[in-house]
Structure 1
Amino acid sequence: MNAKAVTNEYAKMRHRQIGLIIALLAVSASALTAYTSLGSGLLDRLDDPDGFGWKVMFGGLGMGVSLVAPILLAVLASRQVEIEHTGNGWLSSSTAGLTPGQMCRAKFIALGGLVILATIAWGAALIGFGAAIGIESPIPGGRWTAYIGALIVINLAVLAFHILLSAKIENQLVCVGVGIAGILIAMFSQILPDWISHLTPWGYYALTIQSAYVGTEPVYFDLPYFSVLGLAVVGGGLFLAITGRFDRQEA
């Protein structure tokens, strides 16, 4: 990847409100998780030896991510790609030797690094929140790490999809509309068969939820490692293949 192309993408972010969107991504899911956890009686069971507090925060994070990540990732990709459509950036970059496919990969690397940091912030903020309010059971560090890693893969897959969609469709309202549809898919996938959830990247938000109520108590679920790995391999392969086709077409 052309390092200069990635640097140019960061320069384009200055007037695209990318920093604000990343901040919303980092803060909103964590805030929703804290709010729903407190509403679940977290403060009344801080001394629960079975880790009630951590379980409700796992479930709250899954819900919060499903509500905010699809639309914010859509807006993030749309804002970064829109400038190429409005400013004839595809053609001007092509004359400088930078193909549309290379530009899409540069956008993914530039935005992807910020998305990874925002996702890590979810885990760090919630661990800090749980420790600050006094949850007495041990922090499930391994489970948190695995879950945040899975969310990074899912977020990057959704981001890659929206970069390709925004590059192909000039009307960015369509792309944002797809992001809104992604919220519905992520939410309804929680009650759909797993095989249906595997068909879209948004369905993986439901597949990887780590805790939910069974009866009156929250319980942990196993993380579907192979499903997340499959998303990474298939999603990455498709992104490279499609941007490779962009390389061979005229801007």
Structure 2
Amino acid sequence: MNVVRNEFAKLRRLHIGLIAALMIAAIFGLTFVGAMSTAVESDSTAVSWALPLASLSLAFPIVSPLLIAVIASRTIEMEHQGNGWLLNRTTGIETGLLIRAKLVSSGFVVALSTVAASIAAVILGALLSIAEPFPAGLWFGYTAAVVTTNLVVLAVHLVVSVRVDNQLVAMGLGILGTVVAICASGFPSLLAHLTPWGYYSLASAADYQGEHVVTLTPSYVSILALGVVGAAVFSLATARFDRQEILA
């Protein structure tokens, strides 16, 4: 517990809150632009909750991968630069345990930012004066699916940032992940399942089909499988760090 508390304190010093705020603002901004531009072009009586949900489903893949890479990179970089791995080992904190604590602390920030951006999109929908009932179940399911995807992507970046001291590599992976996440909606379903970033398209709860916006059912089983496999792989990877020599 003390390890996790220390990691939260490090996040404050790294100003991760500002990055989280940027993430929320960027997602809301893209959702606002997408929803309002479509609403203006459409008959106001035809505006439904699918409109802000579709814009949100496009905003998360554009914003999340790169900013999550930034959060993970900054969190790990301080240990590389300050030889924090050795310092923590001398106090009895294994490297794997430290990485898991970083996932808890930074994961809390990422999850909270994801939920906040989703709530902001709900407020936007309310401002559009949508007449139909609010699809609480679908919206909650989509938010949970994106939280899961974001946390798995975060776990991947943490491990990569630990393994590769050059954080430009981690940032390059974040850019590549953004491209994959944006383009994944055009991939066959099998290809979308091959990388964590492809799951943003599998989580989509609404999409544009021609001039119309329709709701979709997120691939809950696939997202759940991603979460389980991601947790298992992350646990095994960090356990190996516990058994290895001190990172330089």
Distance 2:40 2:15 in 1: 35
- The 1:117–1:42 alpha-carbon spacing in structure 2 relative to 1, beyond 3 Å, is farther
Distance 1:231 1:77 in 2: 19
1:5 is aligned to 3
TM-score normalised by structure 1 residue count? 0.94
1:248 is aligned to 243
Point out where structure 1 has 5 or more consecutive residues left out of the alignment. none
1:222 is aligned to 217
Distance 1:131 1:60 in 2: 15
* Offset from partner CA, 1:103-130 (integer Å, 9 cap, x none): 1000000011111111111221111111
Q: Does 1:142 align with 2:137?
A: yes
Range 91-100 or range 131-140, more displaced? 131-140
Q: Which amino acid aligns with 2:25?
A: V
1:166 is aligned to 161
Q: Which amino acid aligns with 1:200?
A: T
2:199 is aligned to 204
Task: Determine helix, strand or coil for the equivalent of 1:40.
Answer: helix
Deviation at 1:42, TM superposition (A): 5.0
Contact 1:45 1:53 in 2 (8 A): no
Q: Which amino acid aligns with 1:141?
A: A
The Cα RMSD (Å) is 1.3
Deviation at 1:232, TM superposition (A): 0.6
Contact 2:52 2:124 in 1 (8 A): no
Q: Does 1:114 align with 2:109?
A: yes
* Offset from partner CA, 1:30-87 (integer Å, 9 cap, x none): 2111111111125854433xxx331121111111111110000000000011000000
Q: Which amino acid aligns with 1:209?
A: S
Distance 1:225 1:15 in 2: 36
1:75 is aligned to 70
Distance 1:165 1:68 in 2: 20
What pairs up with 1:158-197 in 2 under 5 angstroms?
158-197=153-192
1:35 is aligned to 33
* Offset from partner CA, 1:170-197 (integer Å, 9 cap, x none): 1111101100000110112111111111
Q: Which amino acid aligns with 1:26?
A: I
Q: Does 1:100 align with 2:95?
A: yes
Q: Specify which of 64, 71, 74 is matched with residue 59 of structure 2.
A: 64
Q: Specify which of 13, 16, 25 is matched with residue 15 of structure 1.
A: 13
Task: Determine helix, strand or coil for the equivalent of 1:250.
Answer: coil
Q: Which amino acid aligns with 1:230?
A: A
Contact 2:202 2:223 in 1 (8 A): no
* Offset from partner CA, 1:141-172 (integer Å, 9 cap, x none): 11100000000000000000001011111111
Distance 2:163 2:141 in 1: 34
- The 1:164–1:179 alpha-carbon spacing in structure 2 relative to 1, beyond 3 Å, is same
Task: Determine helix, strand or coil for the equivalent of 2:195.
Answer: coil
Q: Which amino acid aligns with 1:240?
A: S
Q: Specify which of 116, 125, 128 is matched with residue 133 of structure 1.
A: 128
2:229 is aligned to 234
What pairs up with 1:149-160 in 2 under 5 angstroms?
149-160=144-155
Deviation at 1:228, TM superposition (A): 0.5
Contact 1:104 1:163 in 2 (8 A): yes
Task: Quote the sequence identity (%).
Answer: 39
Range 98-107 or range 13-22, more displaced? 13-22
Deviation at 1:214, TM superposition (A): 2.3
Contact 2:16 2:71 in 1 (8 A): yes
Point out where structure 2 has 5 or more consecutive residues left out of the alignment. none
Contact 1:70 1:158 in 2 (8 A): yes
